[in-house]
Amino acid sequence: MKGLLLNSKENRVPLRMFYMNDRNKITERIITVIDFNDELIRAYCHWRKQPRTFKRQNILSVGFIRQRRRGA
């Protein structure tokens, strides 16, 4: 996961993240990492349109956004 976060931070690559908040609600977010450490991720949330802080222990999944190909 560290490699994905570093790539997002350095190259401004958005990531898709599934996250469980402190109330056990699972949400899907599109984020671009601003900074991170072993406990927290500071990222721009494209859906909330503002910076947010996420606990790393609450991340269920994170990965690149897959682009759909449009064929002829």
pLDDT tens, position by position, 23-46: 999 999 999 999 999 999 999 999
| pLDDT score at 51 | 98
At a CB cut-off of 8 Å and minimum separation 6, what does 33 contact? 5, 6, 8, 9, 15, 41, 42, 43
Asked: is 2-23+30-64 a CATH 2.30.30 domain? The reply is yes
Work out the pLDDT band at 1, boundaries 50, 70, 90. confident
